[in-house]
Amino acid sequence: MKGYLHLENGESFEGALPLNGQETFAKGEVVFFTGMTGYQEVLTDPSYKNQIIVFTYPLIGNYGINEFDFESKKPHVAGVIIYETKDSHSHYNGKHSLKQYLAKWNVPLLTHVDTRAVVKRIRVEGTMQAVISNEPFVKVEAQTTVLNPVKDVTCTQIETFGSGDMHIVLVDLGYKKSILQSLLDRGCKVTIVPYTTSHKVIEELHPNGVVLSNGPGDPKAVQDYLPTIRKILEQFPTLAICLGHQLVALSLGGDTKKLKFGHRGANQPVTDLVSNKVFITSQNHSYVVDEDSLTGTGLQARFKNSNDGSIEGMAHCEYPILSVQFHPEAHPGPAESSWIFDEFIGKNCNSRREKIYA
C-alpha cells in the first residue's frame, strides 16, 4: 500500500505502508537519528514521545528485537520512517522482527522513503510537525501550544530497587532503564519517584543523592516543578541527565533554547573542559542550555559539544551538581562516558554523605 510523509512546510514524500491492518496514521514532530544500530533502544526511549523518527541508516532491523535492550515497557515513538527493513532477522538473541514489534504496538511504519531527502529538508528548515498517512494529500498544522509529554511517561507510584548503602532517588521525567541499571551496577539502592513528587516526600526518603532523569519535550513545559528542583539542588548532591540537565539551568535562573534539528545519534563528540578529553556520546534532544543565560546562576559549562560548541554539561560553584546533556548510560564508544556515574557517586554523594542530615 502506498503511504506518505507529509511535512508542515507542504512537502510530501512517498513510501510504502504494510498490508497487515496496522495503523496507517501518525502525527508528531519529525526528527532524524543517525545511529547505525540501537533502534530498539530508540523506539522504547520515553524521550521520543510524540515524535516521528527517520532513521538515516538505510537498513534497519537486521538483528531483530530481543528481550534485553528495551529502555521501557513499550515504544513511545509516534511513527517510524526507514528506507528498508526485512521480515527476517539474524541474531541469536532476536525474538521478533522490527515489523512484528511495531505491528504488535500498532506503531505506523513507512518504508522505501527517500530518507536522505527527508533529512536534508529537516537540516535546512529544522524539525517540524509531520503526518504519516495513506492519503496523498494532508495539510499539516504547526504546533502552536507547548505540550507536556512528561506527564504521559512518568511513573505513577514510588518504587524501590536494590539494597545498597548508597540511596539514590531517581526523579522520573521519562527515565531509561539503563540509567536505573547503571546505578544498581554500582551498588546503589534506587527509589524511583514521579516527577511531581514534592521536596518533602523526597526528603523523607533520606537519599544520599538525587538523579533527575531524561525525558521528552520542551523543558519549559514543566515550569511548575522548577521550585521543587531548586530545593533539591540546594540540599542534595544531584546528577541531571538530558531533560534533567535543562531543568537544572531553568530552576537556577538560566534559560534554554531550541536547536534547529537537535542532536540525535550515537556519534556526538563531547569535550570535558576539566580533563580536555574528547569522548563519543549518545544523544537525543532538541533543546540546549543557553550559555549566556548562566551568568549569576552559579552554574558553569563543564562539557561542550565538539562540533557546534553547545553546552553538554554543567557544574555549580557551590552545590554538588553535575549535569550532562548526553546519555552516560549509553555505550557508543570508543571512549565511554559512564564514568559520570562514578564521579557523581564517589565525589559528590560521598563527600556530602555525613552532612545532609546534620
Convert the pLDDT of each residue in 202-250 to its tens digit.
999 999 999 999 999 999 999 999 999 999 999 999 999 999 999 999 9
pTM of the model: 0.95
pLDDT of residue 351: 65
Contact predicate 122/114, CB 8 Å: no
From 89, 263, 316, 327, active-site residue: 327
pLDDT of residue 23: 81
pLDDT of residue 354: 45
Order of strands, sheet of 299-305, starting from the edge strand that comes earlier in the sequence: 159-161, 188-194, 166-172, 209-212, 238-241, 321-324, 311-316, 299-305, 256-272, 278-289
Q: For the stretch 42-68, what's the b/e string if a residue is b when 16 or more beta carbons lie within 10 angstroms of its beta carbon?
A: bbbbbbbbbbbbbbbbeebbbbbbeee
- Is residue 329 part of the annotated active site? The answer reads yes
From 242, 263, 291, 316, active-site residue: 242
Confirm whether 141 is domain-assigned: no
pLDDT of residue 21: 72
For residue 125, what are the domain limits? 2-133
Confirm whether 333 is domain-assigned: yes
Confirm whether 140 is domain-assigned: no
Confirm whether 144 is domain-assigned: no
- The rounded average pLDDT for each run of 10 residues, N- to C-terminus, in the chain (358 residues) is 96 92 90 94 97 97 96 97 93 95 96 97 97 95 91 97 96 98 97 98 97 98 97 97 98 98 94 94 96 97 97 97 95 77 90 47
Judging by beta carbons within 10 Å of its beta carbon (0-12, 13-18, 19+), is residue 1 exposed, middle or buried? exposed
Question: Are residues 213 and 313 located together in one domain of the fold?
Answer: yes
Torsion (CA) 9, 58, 266, 214 in degrees, nearest 10: 50
Confirm whether 358 is domain-assigned: no
Question: Are residues 247 and 208 located together in one domain of the fold?
Answer: yes
Question: Are residues 182 and 297 located together in one domain of the fold?
Answer: yes
From 245, 291, 329, 349, active-site residue: 329
- Is residue 349 part of the annotated active site? The answer reads no
